[in-house]
Amino acid sequence: MSQRRRSNAAVPPPPEGAGDAITTGASSAEKERRDLPWMAGSDRRVLALALAFRAANALLVRTYFNPDEHWQCLEVAHRIVFGYGHLTWEWKQGLRSYLHPFVFAALYKFLALLHLDTPWFMAMAPRLLQSVFASFGDLYLYKLSKLIFNNHVAQWALFSQLVNWFMFFCITRTLSNSMETVLTVAGLYYWFTAMKSSRGTSVVSNQQAASKQRPPSRKMALLIAALACAIRPTSAITWLYIGLLDFIQMKSKSRFLFLEIIPLGVLVLAAVTFLDCWMYGSPVIVPLNFLKFNLFSSGGDYYGTHVFHWYFSQGFPSMVWSFLPFSIYGIMKSREWRLAGLIAWVLAVYSILGHKEFRFVLPVLPLMFMFSGYNLAAMVQFKGKGCNEKGHLSRLQLSVILLILTNLPMALYMSLFHQRGTEDVMFYLSREAHDGRVKSVLFLMPCHSTPYYSTLHYNIPMRFLDCTPSEKKGTLDESDRFLMNPSYFVGKNFGNLSSFSHIVLFESEERHVKLLLHNSFKEVRRFFHSHFKVDRDLQSSVVVYSQMDAL
């Protein structure tokens, strides 16, 4: 990828070092019209905007998306701090690192010390903390876009990321993929800053030029990349592409390899391995186990597979949504093939794996908004026929209205309504348990359908249907056997259910076991869950039954 500005680019050249004006002779009035007033200003102002927006974002996310948000992060953190919490089979096989859960364990410890570990704080504080990390991801996308293009592109790239429905829906969740995304964008910023500096180009921010600070070295980028790989070993897919392209062009390859990559990699790997060995209580190298299970043995296929082209034809387009044509046009006009190639590379490599999920390719989603920002910034200069006439909307205004109307309703619906019952029921049970009205709970639903002790935050017996993969191919787990014949499974495994004070299940399975419940249980609450099905029968609501003696 050429690092120099191109004279035929659709967007004006980057800002000159002396100021923030465009090098096209535009007046300050024109510049103000091009800027987004609520985004214009210093990086601190952008960060303040992002912090406020993501905090509201976190408070508005009240739905269930992926079990890993709770079961592979918060549940582990809760166990570290409070001594109880369920560890899934992955933790018993050394497939997960404690590095990511430790971040939220610190939060839980802080809440406990201040006696703020109430049901509301236990449910919302982790997402509010993640919103802080997410806001730095927004800031670094802004800075990266300004570095590669210019300030106007950076503003529109940030606009694109804040408006996009999937980023709103996912980035404030406590998934390791969310943290990986933030680290990837930050790492790319430091990497490209170092590369531009080493090649003698003058693309540094005005603030750096004013303070005469030395641009961040690529060691910072490598350190961030190592942390991303420690949290998600598959992050190496991204950094392998970035590193190899520059490694080929480097003059001092041995210096880069032996004085930067290997020392930093060994340092981070040693620190994380020490942490994991300490927590596991035995020698374990998590990245090796993770890659062995997911890449070499296709263990992830147990949870379902998709066709090879799914990321290209369905998954990634659904995430980018209505920004897709703007991003594709931005790629073609900007000709930043290196970043565009990174997106294609990541999608292609993940396509080889049978098990596919939206969140796996989240780290390259912000790059699409950078290209969308390039396109929208180019529209600012477009003088369409009649665009200045009273009563006529410009091409840019129409595009912004279209993007907001196609993303905002979807973001709010998916964050506030779709699959919220399993979150609401645990918040309800938490309050009831703290008031002494819940003694034990049985979840008659597919495994990991709800949060667990990390939200309940009360040490009572609970039981859910297990779905640990079997070494014997074709063996059905408890979830599958329950869904095949609910009444038979319950009668055989739990008898008259008298050992549980409360039973939680989806409405779709309720009718199959209602005869087993009507004698000694009574419905106490029903929570809306979904208007349409996802991968099973319509799970329209979550129902809570309680023993009559417990009422």
Secondary structure in 3-state letters for 119-134? HHHHHHHHHHHHHHHH
Tokens at 35, concatenated: 């800027």
Tokens at 297, concatenated: 């043995």
* CA neighbours closer than 13 Å in the CB half-sphere of residue 195: 22
How high is the pLDDT of residue 38? 61
Radius of gyration in angstroms for the set of CA atoms belonging to the chain, rounded to a whole number: 26
What is the residue type of 430? S
* CA neighbours closer than 13 Å in the CB half-sphere of residue 65: 24
The torsion angles phi and psi of 464, rounded to 5 degrees, stand at -125, 165
In the numeric block, the tokens 């300004």 are attached to 146
Tokens at 234, concatenated: 């598959």
How high is the pLDDT of residue 380? 84
Q: Going by C-beta distance under 8 Å and a sequence separation of 6 or more, which residues neighbour residue 233?
A: 286, 287, 290, 291
* CA neighbours closer than 13 Å in the CB half-sphere of residue 340: 16
Q: What DSSP designation does 86 have?
A: P
β-strands 462-464, 441-444 pairing: parallel
Q: Which residues of the chain have pLDDT under 50?
A: 1-30, 32-33, 201-214, 384-386
Alpha carbons 179 and 227: distance in angstroms, whole number: 10
CB 22 within 8 A of CB 378: no
> pTM of the prediction?
0.89
β-strands 502-506, 541-547 pairing: antiparallel
Q: Model confidence over 315-358: pLDDT tens digits?
A: 999 999 999 999 999 999 999 999 999 999 999 999 998 889 99
Q: Model confidence over 487-512: pLDDT tens digits?
A: 899 989 888 888 899 999 999 999 88
The torsion angles phi and psi of 87, rounded to 5 degrees, stand at -100, 125
How high is the pLDDT of residue 551? 55
Give the full edge-to-edge strand order of the sheet including 462-464: 462-464, 441-444, 502-506, 541-547, 521-528
Q: CA-CA distances (angstroms) from residue 103 to 81, 213, 241, 278, 301?
A: 11, 31, 28, 16, 29
Alpha carbons 296 and 239: distance in angstroms, whole number: 20
Q: CA-CA distances (angstroms) from residue 22 to 11, 35, 371, 394, 481?
A: 10, 11, 19, 21, 65
How high is the pLDDT of residue 50? 97
Neighbours of 511 (CB within 10 A): 10
How high is the pLDDT of residue 37? 64
How high is the pLDDT of residue 495? 80
Any bridge partners for residue 526, and if so which?
A: 543
CA angle, 500 then 434 then 455, to 5°: 80
How high is the pLDDT of residue 42? 84
How high is the pLDDT of residue 34? 55
Determine the angle formed by the axes of helices 176-198 and 365-380, rounding to 10 degrees: 60
Alpha carbons 423 and 233: distance in angstroms, whole number: 29
